């Protein structure tokens, strides 16, 4: 009779293991060393009685530490499936030998319950795989601008948040800005510690290097210590010339016209076409007041402008009492 009772209790325990199940889901598919994450846990109580969930724990193969989720009981009724919350964890940055932590690991799930049949019992589930990659910084960019419009010849601000999830202190971290594939800005960053860091990048939008219109600003951060040494992000920015409408309205008889000029370039006569329907850009000069006119360009300078595809016209701005160089597109034949 005693052996039969033991057998019945054993079968009851095996049967209960099938009726009470633990479900889990990681918050992402892969992790970097030094990162934090969480496991979303739920349980299905297929037993014919209620149980009291006292706590949920998780054991990771790299340290065997438990993470406590609940400090007060939670009732899981008979035949009920319910969320038990999230178990948060932190992944080591380095292994005991000082190498960057990475590899394939596993974890076990445990739910401790109390009820009138089993008393206090710990249900287990697993092991489940967890893949950890060698740490890489991640990069996110935001503009300090509500319009995402940059004005030529004025400061353009970009707020950069660099989340370093595993790179140690480094003096080899560099930031570069490319506009439509062309390098425009370089800066060496300060020593970067693991964590979240903010940088404010400010530079003057060059004219006429960047003409009015839509451009792709690519920001790249590189570090020689990383196995994949570059992280980047792209901002689509509309560049506008300052006082565009003002200058267009003060072109006089040149407004909305393409004007052809005959000039001698390289010993032969060519036709230079200036399109006054479009302003490529505008740049403030150091000359202010109406009677303080900037000197005209010499012939060589003007020819170099045409060959570069623009013509810089001197125009006075009565709004701020200063002279500007206003750039118009140029083509020539000959």
| Residue 293 scores a pLDDT above 60 | yes
Across 27-31, 118-122, 157-161, the highest mean pLDDT is recorded for: 118-122
- pLDDT at 168 exceeding the cut of 60: no
What is the pLDDT, as a whole number, of residue 11?
A: 42
Is the pLDDT at 51 greater than 50? The verdict is yes
Q: Do the beta carbons of residue 56 and residue 84 sit within 8 Å?
A: yes
Report the domain count for the chain: 3
Q: CB atoms < 10 A from the CB of 251, how many? A: 17
Give the domain-ending residue among 177, 208, 240.
240
Verify that 229 and 282 share a domain, yes or no: no
Same domain, 129 and 6: yes
17 occurs within a structural domain: yes
Rounded Cα distance between 311 and 229, Å, is 41
Token reading at 166: 């595993």
C-alpha dist (Å) from residue 57 to 21, 61, 71, 103, 192: 15, 13, 11, 22, 34
Q: What is the mean pLDDT of residues 269-296?
A: 94
Q: Report how far residue 185's alpha carbon sits from residue 9's, in angstroms, rounded to the nearest whole number.
A: 74
Closest CA to 62 of 29, 97, 12, 18: 97
Domain finish residue from 133, 167, 183: 133
Q: Read off the CATH number of the domain in which 201 is found.
A: 2.60.40.10
Q: Does residue 35 or residue 103 have the better pLDDT?
A: 103
The arithmetic mean of pLDDT across residues 154-161, rounded, is 80
Distances (CA, A) of 301 to 265, 305, 310, 311: 12, 6, 11, 10
Whether 245 is in a domain gets the answer no
Domain that holds residue 323: 250-333
Pairing assessment for the beta strands 30-32 and 119-133 based on DSSP bridges: parallel
- Give the Cα separation of 59 and 107 in Å (integer): 5
Identify the domain boundary among 218, 240, 262: 240
Kindly state whether residue 219 falls inside one of the protein's structural domains. yes
Q: Are residues 24 and 123 in the same domain?
A: yes
User: Are residues 221 and 137 in contact, defined by beta-carbon separation less than 8 angstroms?
Assistant: yes
Burial-class residue 18 by CB neighbours within 10 Å (0-12, 13-18, 19+): exposed
123 with 235, same domain: the answer is no
Q: Is the pLDDT of residue 145 over 50?
A: no
Q: How confident is the model at residue 70 (pLDDT cuts 50, 70, 90)?
A: low
Question: Which of the four pLDDT bands, split at 50, 70 and 90, describes residue 4?
Answer: very low
| Secondary structure (DSSP) of 101-148 | P-EEEEEEEEEEEEETTTEEEEEEEEEEEEEEEPP--EEEEEES-SS-
Cα–Cα distance, 140 to 194 (Å, whole number): 16
Domain check: are 114 and 225 in the same one? no
**Percent residues over pLDDT 90 in the chain:** 33
- Give a yes or no: residue 302 inside a domain: yes
Both tokens of 197, joined, read 């860091």
Q: Is there a single domain that holds both residue 92 and residue 180?
A: no
């Amino acid at each position: 009779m005693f052996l039969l009772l033991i057998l019945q209790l054993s079968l009851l325990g095996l049967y209960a293991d099938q009726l009470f199940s633990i479900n889990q889901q990681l918050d992402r598919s892969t992790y970097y060393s030094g990162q934090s994450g969480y496991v979303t846990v739920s349980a299905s109580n297929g037993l014919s009685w209620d149980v009291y969930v006292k706590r949920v724990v998780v054991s990771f193969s790299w340290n065997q530490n438990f993470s406590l989720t609940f400090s007060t009981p939670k009732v899981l009724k008979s035949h009920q499936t319910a969320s038990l919350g999230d178990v948060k964890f932190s992944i080591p940055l380095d292994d005991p030998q000082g190498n960057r932590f990475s590899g394939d690991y596993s974890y076990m799930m445990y739910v401790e319950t109390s009820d009138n049949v089993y008393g206090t019992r710990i249900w287990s589930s697993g092991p489940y795989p967890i893949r950890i990659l060698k740490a890489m910084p991640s990069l996110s960019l935001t503009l300090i601008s509500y319009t995402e419009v940059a004005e030529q010849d004025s400061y353009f601000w970009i707020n950069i948040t660099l989340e370093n999830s595993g790179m140690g202190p480094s003096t080899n971290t560099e930031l570069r800005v490319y506009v439509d594939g062309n390098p425009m800005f370089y800066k060496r960053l300060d020593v970067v510690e693991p964590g979240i860091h903010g940088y404010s990048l400010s530079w003057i939008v060059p004219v006429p290097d960047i003409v009015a219109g839509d451009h792709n600003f690519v920001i790249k951060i590189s570090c020689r210590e990383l196995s994949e040494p570059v992280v980047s992000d792209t901002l689509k920015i509309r560049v506008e010339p300052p006082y565009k409408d003002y200058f267009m309205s003060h072109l006089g008889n040149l407004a909305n016209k393409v004007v052809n000029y005959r000039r001698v370039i390289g010993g032969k006569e060519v036709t230079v076409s200036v399109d006054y329907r479009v302003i490529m850009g505008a740049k403030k000069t150091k000359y202010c007041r109406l009677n303080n006119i900037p000197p005209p360009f010499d012939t060589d300078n003007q020819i170099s402008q045409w060959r570069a595809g623009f013509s810089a016209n001197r125009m006075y701005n009565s709004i701020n009492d200063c002279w500007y160089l206003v750039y118009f597109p140029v083509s020539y034949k000959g």
